[in-house]
Amino acid sequence: MKTTLRTDITVKDICEGFIYYQLEGKGLFGLAGKLTIQPEYQRNYIYADGKKDVAVIESLLKGYPLGLIYFNKVSDEKYEVLDGQQRITSFGRFVTNKSVFTVQTADAEEKGISNCPLCAIGHDANKLRIWKLTEMDADHVTAWSKGGATDIKNCQLLCKTHNRAKGNK
């Protein structure tokens, strides 16, 4: 097997069009759809324990090296992650959630309602509550299996309580 060292692919490139599939707990795609992050045979995302994922983000923000990531070139414009899917899923989730959070919170503040859409339509004290990013989790509006769109518009953040309640349905 021929191995080529690529230093031109950035974290930003990989996060472009990043898709996380919540039901199966997998990062699915990145690199504007050219990269399959966790193919069928890969284990699910196991870094979401609030420790390993945080460690990845912290070292990234400090400018520490991520370590080598291996892609298997499937065809001209298609790659699969051979090694590094946990790291990629960690920063992909972070970047996606952060941008969704910014938009959703600005919108809620303008309307004077909670930034959790389900709290906002509720009848208790949380109706007006602005949650922090760390108090929320991503929810995919349309499940992937139902043909949900593959971009950020298909993702919203809910407070952890509502996210958990929805996940159990």
Residues engaged in binding Zn ion (CB under 5 A) = 116, 118-119, 159, 162
Nearer CB in complex with Zn ion: 87/140? 140
Using the minimum distance from each CB to Zn ion, give the nearer residue, 37 or 119. Answer: 119
Residue number, 43 or 127, with CB nearest to Zn ion: 127
Return the structure tokens found at 125.
Answer: 């004290």
Closest separation between CB of residue 162 and Zn ion, Å? 4
Question: Least CB distance from residue 135 to Zn ion, whole Å?
Answer: 9
Other beta carbons within 10 angstroms of residue 86's beta carbon come to 21
Instruction: Output the smallest distance, CB 139 to Zn ion, in A.
Output: 10
* CB contact set of 85 (below 8 Å; sequence gap of 6+): 27, 37, 38, 42, 45
Chain centroid to Cα 113, Å, comes to 25
Q: Which is nearer to Zn ion, 38 or 137 (CB)?
A: 137
Q: Counting beta carbons within 10 angstroms of the beta carbon of residue 63, is it exposed (0 to 12), middle (13 to 18) or buried (19 or more)?
A: exposed
CB of 136 to Zn ion, least distance (A): 8
Q: Quick check: helix, strand or coil at residue 7?
A: coil
